[in-house]
Amino acid sequence: MSTAPAHPSLPHRPGKIVAVHVSHESRAAQRGRRPAAPSYFFKPSSSLAASGDAVERPEGTELLAFEGEIALVIGTPARSVAPAEAWSHVAWVTASNDWGLYDLRANDKGSNVRNKGRDGYTPVGPRLIDARAVDPTALRVRTWLNGELVQEGETTDLIFPFSQIIADLSQHLTLETGDVILTGTPAGASVAVPGDVVEVEVDAPGGPSSGRLTSRVIDGPGGFDPAVGSLPSVDDLQREEAWGSREAAGLPAASPVISPGLRDKLLRTPVAGLSQQLRKRGLDNVSIDGLRATRPGTKLVGVARTLRFVPNREDLFRSHGGGYNAQKRAFDAVREGEVIVIEARGERGSGTLGDVLALRALARGAAGVVTDGGVRDYATVAGIDLPVFSQGPHPAVLGRRHVPWDTGLTIACGGATVQPGDIIVGDDDGVIVIPPAIAEEVADAALAQETEDAWIAAQVAAGHPVDGLFPMNAEWRAKYEAATEAATEAGA
């Protein structure tokens, strides 16, 4: 049996290649979802390639995506190791490119067998860095597409440090000598086409480097047989995720959940009228209570993007409060027309955002911010052209009362349940939550009621008593309908 290396950069042919789905904060923010724990998939050793090797994009496909990553090569077997000793089981560090064919991704359902397991789709190298010579928390990965830097990530940006990944894997399986772990890609991964050259380098800035791992994309044969497996297929979601954004993929902006027509109706309708219509439909618990706008006269209409704070605990704040935490990710990821809704448990004794984050939300096109906590830099935030509703000002930072914990889940804010995608409307009377499925119906009914109420107010102003008029009895209802019909004919 031959003992010769199967790869010019690796001392052993790996028994397994384990890849992390998402591990960089920047990638999680780009995708708009952050994992609570690491998750993995396997790549076959037959997918290994070396620097300078070509990468094939099969005929009839379009979404061949590169992902520059740091690769760890196991030196001594690891089984049920603690995080504190995990790094001692790594012998080398090098560059890798976790190529994937998104045309085959949909039917893999997370396993990535077909889209990432193809021959040549795991180039590593060209040089190995001695793991003993570097600090695993001070490494960097960079990717160039045709000479232009498109990815740059550091291990300080990791959601899950290498020690956690190794320890977690080792509690489920034995990591053997020569095994390779691909540790995830930072933001900026995108699509390459035949003729493109992609280079990846891992280094300790100012220290050792893997050198540039080079891959050239070429056309390859297709010939997928529908009789034995699924055929390549793509949709706009796969295009967006492969390219990194809708804009990069050449796609139009996502259709707003709130159509322009509905938005106009909601802007013209007072919250009190909307609340009345929701109550008629059995929805009494939709008010986010105790909030006021930083600027009186503000009107807010948007779609909820949720953020949750938990009560401060010093150890948890150390692990979740600093760096690229959930709060920063929410403000970096908010989309045009969305409202960041923050669960702060009604705690007024700390700010939940300040002027910098308000400016970030404004730059991203957010519709506003709603928090049942406090706001720092209150006067400055009030001067920013961004609707913000809160419990009022407070000078303290998060760590006094809160730990920013997670995003994109159902939360409680001001006594109301808020789900991502709910419609949020606010004015001087308060803030309410409208289920999207009935928003159009509620807005139309509220506008009709506003017209009716305005006519009633005119009658009261003319000296009529409210008895029988508010609410209208049959006699007044007939007068109102006659007046409405006359006004309609006059307008026609």
253/338 Cα distance (integer angstroms): 14
142 is in an annotated binding site: no
Residue (of 395, 404, 428) closest to 322 by Cα position: 404
DSSP sequence for 353-388: --HHHHHHHHHTT--EEEESSBBSSHHHHHTSSS-E
Amino acid (one-letter) located at 353: L
Q: Tokens 């259709």 label which residue?
A: 255
Task: Note if the bond before 393 is cis, omega within 30 degrees.
Answer: no
156/25 Cα distance (integer angstroms): 9
For 489, what's the count of Cα atoms within 13 Å in the CB-facing half-sphere? 6
377 is in an annotated binding site: yes
For residues 369 and 352, the answer to whether their CB atoms sit within 8 Å is no
Q: How far apart are the first and last CA of the chain?
A: 93
355 is in an annotated binding site: yes
Residue (of 297, 302, 276) closest to 287 by Cα position: 276
365/342 Cα distance (integer angstroms): 17
In the sheet that 100-101 helps form, which strands lie side by side, from edge to edge?
100-101, 64-66, 190-192
Other C-beta atoms closer than 10 Å to the C-beta of 475 total 10
Q: What share of the chain is helix, strand, coil (3-state, %, to 5)?
A: 30, 30, 40
Report how far apart, in Å, the C-alpha atoms of 210 and of each of 4, 72, 136, 148, 214 are.
Answer: 22, 12, 14, 19, 11
222 is in an annotated binding site: no
157 is in an annotated binding site: no
DSSP sequence for 57-111: EETT---EEE-EEEEEEE-S-BSS--HHHHGGGEEEEEEEE--EEGGGTGGGTT-
Residue (of 178, 202, 184, 136) closest to 10 by Cα position: 178
For residues 341 and 411, the answer to whether their CB atoms sit within 8 Å is yes
354 is in an annotated binding site: yes
By the 10 Å C-beta count (0-12 exposed, 13-18 middle, 19+ buried), 67 is classed as: buried
Instruction: List, as residue ranges, the binding site for Mg(2+).
Output: 377
Annotated binding site for substrate: 354-357, 376
Binding annotation: 354-357, 376-377
